[in-house]
Structure 1
């Protein structure tokens, strides 16, 4: 099994590397990597419904969709990600793939266990969530290892008002989490922890042989640009959903209802106690066909005489109603 340690912390590149290797690797792979702060959502999730949009926007946290199913997670440099790519069959075996990871953590003197469908725990608290994706006869298994992550950002980035979204997409499930570092007999740096895990899973791996080949890095970089940095993948690939929000504005109360598919607004309805000279149906029609995205909505509304429909309501006020 080939061992890889990714140097980049760019979430789009790292997720693209997983996909490129899944489809092109010549042998089984074990890979360790970290992301700079990012929210990673599951393949089948409604991205907007999983994130605290204001929290991630104010902090400049990117949101990226992965290939595998499961729930949304927050990554930072205190979180270590591991990936297994198996070329030998399509069975989804969570226990089998996580067994060497559990053994590596246990070797540090930490009592840990596999629980539920896909979690690794310490004293009943989750430190690793796992997911899988099958492509032809190959399996991609990856998981998180909370080593010394900022738990406040983990909860803040994923907190959202459940009344805003009505859909059947997969929801994330909150569980009590813990960092591995808090249970170690002695302090340890995250990089040393990564070295320990790599040495345990791939004991013959030479430090100088852990990098991607130039063609692999180039292939992953191209895939990051064509897929993992795009609105269509990260937001447009969300299942269809309905959005509702009620907000008081300088012009009165506005209750916004949106039907969204493929990340694009199909229909909008604006109710409330506001005043306006013109029929609001014209404004609702203008919203149809626009991405459910702040910048796109601001651009679309910038060319509309908004006060004619919603007296006293500015573009920023209305955009806030739509998120």
Structure 2
């Protein structure tokens, strides 16, 4: 495994651009590990409706950056007390949505530090009933990454102030708020650690003293590509917020794979004119392919079934029942 040096950058726009550049352009056949620390920011999941996930006025007042990532999952708050890790590797189906496989090295190091961490639920690392890390994935046909947060000493009061927790998620998980579920790793350590010192402990655990730590340093050519990604994508409102289309119908359901939220605009003649699918689900394929397949289709169950017949839904949204997925589009609202 090769460690990627991000040069201590804390701008979330740049760090997400580094991650995307590396997964798309560094040589295949090698595994890489990237760590980065972001200034106060909210990182939005690829398929989420940004304006429905955040408290915009609070974010503006406190100069919190909002950046969309290319992986699925839910919105998360980052600051200097949060360490982010990303494992970059060749794609294989057995790794897809296998968060435990990637989190295990991190969990083992935390255990060695006296933190009783374990993988639980869909994609969380927890200590007892408290979440200390969430994970997400992005994959192409050849490469993929699994990245996650490590809440060392994050300002947890900002989580509920900056994020708008959806009632769907609260009701389905039986929690009053996301704040009650999270904790800092610092609470379980015998000694205080800076985020940089914590990062070094994790690196020492993953790269033992007997193993040479190979380091990749970004080249001028890498930086040209990274800076272009920031300018053309991560630094733009169109990517981070985007426009939500007008819709007549909204249907939301919480599956084992996560929240799926359909927005449809249906013409007077009964055909689908516009569709947008939001949620914190994970999938390998772009959800826009499902959206495009539904445009122009008659808003009738049989027509919807026919339009989606050739799609492997697992590749787009994860583990969902096809019948229940069609019910969501056409049937009564459910939570």
Q: Give the TM-score of the pair, scaled to structure 1.
A: 0.68
The alpha-carbon deviation at position 89 of structure 1 amounts to 2.3
Q: Residue by residue, what CA displacement relative to the aligned partner does 1:85-132 show, whole Å, maximum 9, x if unpaired? A: 112524312110000010111111111110001000012100000000
Does the alignment pair 1:211 with 2:214?
no
Query: For the residues of structure 1 that align with 2:275 and 2:61, how far apart are their CA atoms?
Result: 25
Structure 2 gap segments, 5+ residues each: 169-176, 249-264, 266-273, 277-335
Aligned position for 1:17: 18
Secondary structure at the aligned position of 2:217 is classed as coil
Aligned position for 1:5: 5
Q: Residue by residue, what CA displacement relative to the aligned partner does 1:213-261 show, whole Å, maximum 9, x if unpaired? A: 222222112111110011111111667668xxxxxxxxxxxxxxxx9x8
Q: How does 1:58-137 map to 2 (within 5 A)?
A: 58-90=61-93, 91-92=95-96, 93-137=98-142
**Contact persistence 2:37–2:80 (CA under 8 A):** yes
**Contact persistence 2:207–2:213 (CA under 8 A):** no
Query: For the residues of structure 2 that align with 1:184 and 1:73, how far apart are their CA atoms?
Result: 23
Secondary structure at the aligned position of 1:195 is classed as helix
Secondary structure at the aligned position of 2:58 is classed as helix
1:205–1:41 CA distance, 2 compared to 1 (3 A): farther
Q: Residue by residue, what CA displacement relative to the aligned partner does 1:4-25 show, whole Å, maximum 9, x if unpaired? A: 2321000001001111111111
1:25–1:192 CA distance, 2 compared to 1 (3 A): same
**Contact persistence 2:17–2:229 (CA under 8 A):** yes
> Which one has the largest radius of gyration?
1
Secondary structure at the aligned position of 1:236 is classed as coil
Does the alignment pair 1:187 with 2:188?
no
Query: For the residues of structure 2 that align with 1:9 and 1:210, how far apart are their CA atoms?
Result: 18
Does the alignment pair 1:41 with 2:40?
no
**Contact persistence 1:47–1:238 (CA under 8 A):** no
Structure 1 gap segments, 5+ residues each: 164-172, 243-258, 264-323
Q: Residue by residue, what CA displacement relative to the aligned partner does 1:280-299 show, whole Å, maximum 9, x if unpaired? A: xxxxxxxxxxxxxxxxxxxx
Query: For the residues of structure 2 that align with 1:37 and 1:200, how far apart are their CA atoms?
Result: 27
The alpha-carbon deviation at position 44 of structure 1 amounts to 0.5
**Contact persistence 1:238–1:262 (CA under 8 A):** no
1:161–1:227 CA distance, 2 compared to 1 (3 A): same
Q: Residue by residue, what CA displacement relative to the aligned partner does 1:165-199 show, whole Å, maximum 9, x if unpaired? A: xxxxxxxx836101011110222222111001112
Q: Aligned pairs, how many?
A: 237
Query: For the residues of structure 1 that align with 2:61 and 2:201, how far apart are their CA atoms?
Result: 36
Q: Residue by residue, what CA displacement relative to the aligned partner does 1:18-46 show, whole Å, maximum 9, x if unpaired? A: 11111111122101101000000100100
